[in-house]
Amino acid sequence: MSKFRGIVRRDYAVAAIDLASKKQVVAVVDHDSRIVARRTFHCAPPQLATAIEWSRTAATAAGFAGIVIACEPTGHRWKTVRDLTAAVGVQMVCVQPIAVARARETEDFTHDKSDDKDALLIARLTTQLHIYLPEHADEQWTRLRHLGVRRSQQLTRRGAAQQQARDLLEGAWPHALDCAGQPFKSVTWLAAMAVIGADPTPLTAQGSREQAVAWLREQVRAELPCWGGRRVTTRILVAIVDAAFAVQTETTITAEAGALERARYALADFHHARTACEQVEAAMIEVLTGLGLHELAGSIPGVSAVSVAAILAETGDLTRFDSARAVVKHAGLCPRENSSGAYRGATRISGRGRPLLRVAAWRAAFAALTHNEVYAARYRHLTSREANRLNPNQARVAIAAALLRQLYVVITTATPWNPDIAAGRTRPVERTAA
């Protein structure tokens, strides 16, 4: 709070801006919510330099030593305001949109909304220090954030394409899915389906099973490098050929030709998204290496460097947070109690903060539970203890929050993850790794 008070000084007026694409409402307000000046500028955010200078002039005329600019983080427009204020030596702060929405309701218990009212509410919340400082733009961290968003999008598309291909094959050619234990993780199965276009007809056209296996092996050997594989698994090829010849009648194949064609398109989409994911993950590792965090990111067993990069893409530089608890709150993984008097409701996570950070921490926790004995033991304890036993999902949330707390200390102190400290077996005077 003292840091915020040093920015929003009593001798400074607050110039609150309600940002939009073509209309900007600027209100210069004192610390008692009295309007010093107010004006509407019909311009785009890049042309707000005139509005900032007008606000400074109005504040100076009213006896203030300077101004502080406040706005909501609306889309990408706040970045333009940040650059403009930095160019003229004015400090900018942001107010959370949800805080403005709540203040709008408590103003007169209605849901009315106007640009002028929002500008005044932004100014009032700023004087009450309900603000935060926008993250400083750094080339490497900014690139990592964009790569993280790109990876999240491609993971969604890959999952959608995989599910669509599975659904279509289950209806049109179900035996093909039984040819590998995990078909969409088998490069041999994927390459074979790409070669035949998810259609058994090219295999049955070879005449015999032996000829079909020989032809398919040759084609898959050429296709395999496109999927990142080197070695052909003949057992899977033989199973695919057997599944093709197991189709009872040509009528079935003809009737499902449209579904098989869609499955081919879905597999092509899956391949594209899979390749895009691999490319963006390689770029994320490159950024981690440039930041000097690659070794630290890979020091947690069961959590890959890519998973850590996905988390850092959402948090940004962890040194900007005051504590590990602040990181967990930023992810919306902190518990929220629901009780009053004798009533005790279910405790849930807040769900505020960055949803993609929650997803990244959740995915990393799932992998850690399988390959990290410290987290696995903690999970077993949380789900089996006598008092306050957690269900599996609650325990996974607790592990995800613990992972974020420990990652915060690992990154900010440049100390590799220590299993003894993480498990509570060692308690040094100054904790540096858990």
Which tens digit of pLDDT belongs to each residue from 365-379? 999 999 999 999 999
The reply to whether 30 falls in a domain is yes
Q: DSSP state, 132?
A: B
In whole angstroms, give the CA distance from residue 105 to residue 403: 37
Residues 259 and 300 in one domain: no
Domain containing 305: what range?
292-337+347-422
The reply to whether 227 falls in a domain is yes
pLDDT at 251: 47
Residues 65 and 158 in one domain: no
CATH number of the domain at 42, please.
3.30.420.40
CA distances from 251 to 54, 194, 247, 313, 425 (A): 77, 23, 10, 52, 67
Residues 65 and 148 in one domain: no
Residue range 213-267, pLDDT digits in tens: 999 999 999 999 999 999 999 999 999 999 999 875 544 555 588 999 999 999 9
3-class DSSP assignment, residue 89: coil
CA distances from 46 to 14, 80, 189, 275 (A): 20, 6, 53, 37
Stretch 51-61: mean pLDDT: 96
> Which of 127, 160, 187 is a domain's end point?
127
Residues 296 and 278 in one domain: no
Task: Provide the pLDDT confidence category of residue 150 given band limits of 50, 70 and 90.
Answer: very high
pLDDT at 429: 52
User: Which percentage of the chain shows pLDDT scores above 70?
Assistant: 96
Query: Token pair of 363, please?
Result: 């995915």
The reply to whether 132 falls in a domain is no
Residues 367 and 273 in one domain: no
> Which of 127, 152, 173 is a domain's end point?
127
In whole angstroms, give the CA distance from residue 274 to residue 12: 53
Q: What is the pTM of this model?
A: 0.85
Tell me the residue type at 98: I
Residues 303 and 256 in one domain: no
Residues 225 and 308 in one domain: no
pLDDT at 427: 65
Residues 96 and 158 in one domain: no
Residues 255 and 298 in one domain: no
Residues 310 and 391 in one domain: yes
> Which of 282, 310, 329 is a domain's end point?
282
The reply to whether 431 falls in a domain is no
The reply to whether 239 falls in a domain is yes
Q: How many domains does the chain have?
A: 3
The reply to whether 356 falls in a domain is yes
> 């203030």: which residue's tokens?
64
pLDDT at 364: 95
Question: What's the mean pLDDT when you consider all of the chain?
Answer: 91
* Long-range contacts (CB closer than 8 Å, 24 or more residues apart) made by 412-415: 412/318, 412/319, 414/296, 415/296
pLDDT at 45: 93
Residue 349: CB atoms within 10 A of its CB come to: 19
The reply to whether 59 falls in a domain is yes
Apex CA 289: angle with CA 144 and CA 156, to 5°? Answer: 40
DSSP result, 350-393: ---S-HHHHHHHHHHHHHHHHH-HHHHHHHHHHHH-SSSPPPHH
CA atoms within 13 Å, Cβ hemisphere of 406 = 30
Residue range 298-325, pLDDT digits in tens: 999 999 999 999 999 999 999 989 899 9
Q: Is 292 left (phi over 0), alpha (psi -120 to 50) or beta?
A: left
DSSP result, 11-44: TEEEEEEE--SS-EEEEEE-TTS-EEEEEEE-S-
Residues 83 and 29 in one domain: yes
Residues 172 and 110 in one domain: no
CA distances from 135 to 138, 168, 202 (A): 9, 45, 56
Residue range 153-179, pLDDT digits in tens: 999 999 999 999 999 999 999 999 999
**Cross-sheet strand order for the sheet of 24-29:** 35-41, 24-29, 12-18, 66-71, 92-94
Task: Provide the pLDDT confidence category of residue 433 given band limits of 50, 70 and 90.
Answer: very low
In whole angstroms, give the CA distance from residue 242 to residue 200: 10
The reply to whether 231 falls in a domain is yes
φ/ψ of residue 138, rounded to 5: -125, 140
- β-pairing, 24-29 vs 12-18, is antiparallel
Q: DSSP state, 166?
A: H
